[in-house]
């Protein structure tokens, strides 16, 4: 974490209203101030202008929280994105080796209207919303991040999943030339990075596809140009840089479950009562910025109780 500590120019955490204010101020003050006030996020500068504009014009906030929002600096410098390497600072360090635009997503499997769509096809006609979500990594750190995007379910419906569509699989990008983690022959991950949800989880209104964060297009290190957010599950379920969505009939194999089935289950709902075999999940280290880290209790479903009905009658220690 030491690398993330900024010069102590601001006190403690920036409360949300101040954060939002600052963003408005930064925006209206033009590029020069932007460059000095916020460390530049070069990766997002390759995003097409229609996308930047659509994101920065988004005013509707669908979901929010009273908690302090994590500084943009930290949320874009301390990442897990093994395609760039396993170090927390690898994704930001190597982000500009990846050129996500133009982008296509293929939607296939058990559905009546499969297709290959460009990012424009998916996003242009939709109205975006901002959602401030807690992100709880299975490693027991967490952040609070404002994302811009669309509900996953609203997008999935368009492809008309059929009655055999019981699960949805998400595949991340494979580009060995651009993603140095995929060139690493000692990598324990069999690329692509694959994740999945049960169809009712995918259709839940909290499941979200983001194209932006902090009012800007996603930086490459955070999963440009489009990534999933499933805020009641451990962070690794929130796949980055998605190229394929597939409707399937049976529970799919997923990257972390394959890597270590005892430690990482298919469901991976945030659960303070089920310790990871090597550490407790009862608490987490909340990263807010300026080097401030607070140890706080972890909440069941990461505090998103509205999903509890999805798991009625299931033993969540068995289906971890």
Ligand X SMILES: Nc1nc2c(c(=O)[nH]1)N[C@H]1C(S)=C(S)[C@@H](COP(=O)(O)O)O[C@H]1N2
In the complex, the residues that contact ligand X under the rule CB under 6 A are 79-83, 135, 137, 172, 193, 222, 235-236, 238-241
State the binding partner of 240 from ligand X, Mo ion, none, CB within 5 to 8 A by kind.
ligand X
Calpha distance 250→165 (Å, rounded) = 8
Query: Is residue 111 annotated as involved in ligand binding?
Result: no
222 is in an annotated binding site: yes
Over its C-alpha atoms, the chain yields an Rg (Å, rounded) of 19
Is 240 flagged in the annotation as binding?
A: yes
* Bridging pattern class, strands 141-151 and 283-289: parallel
Q: Is 57 annotated as a binding residue?
A: no
The one of Mo ion, ligand X, none whose footprint includes residue 83, by CB under 5 to 8 A per kind, is ligand X
Parallel, antiparallel or unpaired: strands 227-229 and 208-213:
antiparallel
What, of ligand X, Mo ion, none, does residue 81 touch, CB below 5 to 8 Å by kind? ligand X
CA distance 7 to 4: 10
The encoded tokens of residue 110 equal: 């058990």
How far is Cα 284 from Cα 286, in angstroms, rounded to an integer?
6
Could you say which of ligand X, Mo ion, none residue 212 binds, taking C-beta under 5 to 8 angstroms by partner kind? none
Nearest distance, CB of residue 89 and ligand X, angstroms: 11
Piece of 53-61, 134-142, 149-157, 215-223 that binds Mo ion (CB under 5 A): 134-142
The site partner of 268 among Mo ion, ligand X, none (C-beta below 5 to 8 Å per kind) is none
Q: How far apart are the first and last CA of the chain?
A: 29
CB 149 within 8 A of CB 126: no
Element (H, E) at 24: helix 16-28
Among 14, 79, 80, 257, binds Mo ion (CB under 5 A): 80
> Which of 68, 137, 202, 226 touches Mo ion (CB under 5 A)?
137
130 forms beta bridges with 61, 148
Environment class of 200 (CB within 10 Å of its CB; exposed 0-12, middle 13-18, buried 19+) = middle
What does 133 interact with, of ligand X, Mo ion, none (CB < 5 to 8 A by kind)? none
Please check if 73 is assigned to a binding site: no
| Binding flag, residue 231, Mo ion (CB under 5 A) | no
C-alpha atoms less than 13 angstroms from C-alpha of 119 in its C-beta half-sphere: 24
Span near Mo ion by CB under 5 A; candidates 72-80, 110-118, 244-252, 292-300: 72-80
CA distance 257 to 46: 34
- Rounded Cα distance between 301 and 306, Å, is 9
* Cβ-based nearer residue to ligand X, 80 or 290: 80
**Least distance in angstroms from the C-beta of 258 to ligand X:** 14
CB of 29 to ligand X, least distance (A): 26
- Residue 235 sits in the site that holds Mo ion (CB under 5 A): yes
Binding residues for Mo-molybdopterin: 79, 82-83, 137, 172, 222, 227, 238-240
> Which residues bind to Mo ion, rule: CB under 5 A?
80, 137, 235-236
């Amino acid at each position: 974490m030491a690398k993330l500590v900024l010069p102590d120019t601001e006190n403690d955490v920036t409360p949300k209203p101040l954060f939002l204010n600052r963003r408005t101020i930064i925006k209206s003050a033009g590029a020069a101030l932007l460059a000095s006030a916020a460390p530049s996020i070069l990766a997002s500068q390759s995003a097409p202008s229609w996308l930047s504009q659509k994101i920065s014009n988004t005013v509707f906030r669908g979901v929010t929280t009273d908690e302090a929002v994590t500084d943009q600096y930290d949320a874009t410098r301390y990442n897990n994105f093994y395609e760039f390497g396993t170090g927390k600072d690898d994704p930001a360090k190597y982000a500009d080796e990846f050129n996500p635009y133009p982008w296509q997503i293929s939607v296939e499997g058990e559905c009546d209207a499969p297709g290959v769509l460009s990012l424009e096809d998916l996003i242009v006609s939709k109205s975006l919303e901002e959602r401030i979500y807690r992100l709880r990594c299975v490693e027991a750190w967490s952040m609070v991040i404002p994302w811009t995007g669309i509900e996953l379910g609203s997008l999935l419906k368009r492809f008309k999943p059929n009655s055999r569509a019981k699960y949805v699989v998400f595949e991340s990008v494979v580009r060995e030339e651009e993603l140095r983690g995929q060139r690493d022959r000692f990598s324990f991950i069999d690329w692509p990075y694959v994740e999945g949800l049960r169809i009712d989880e995918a259709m839940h209104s909290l499941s979200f596809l983001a194209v932006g964060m902090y009012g800007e297009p996603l930086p490459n290190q955070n999963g440009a140009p489009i990534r999933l957010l499933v805020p009641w599950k451990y962070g690794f379920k929130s796949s980055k840089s998605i190229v394929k969505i597939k409707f399937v009939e049976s529970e799919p194999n997923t990257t972390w479950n394959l890597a270590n089935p005892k430690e990482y289950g298919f469901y991976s709902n945030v659960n303070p009562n089920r310790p990871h075999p090597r550490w407790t999940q009862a608490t987490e280290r909340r990263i807010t910025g300026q080097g401030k880290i607070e140890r706080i209790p972890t909440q069941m479903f990461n505090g998103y109780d509205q999903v509890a009905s999805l798991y009625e009658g299931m033993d969540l220690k068995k289906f971890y």
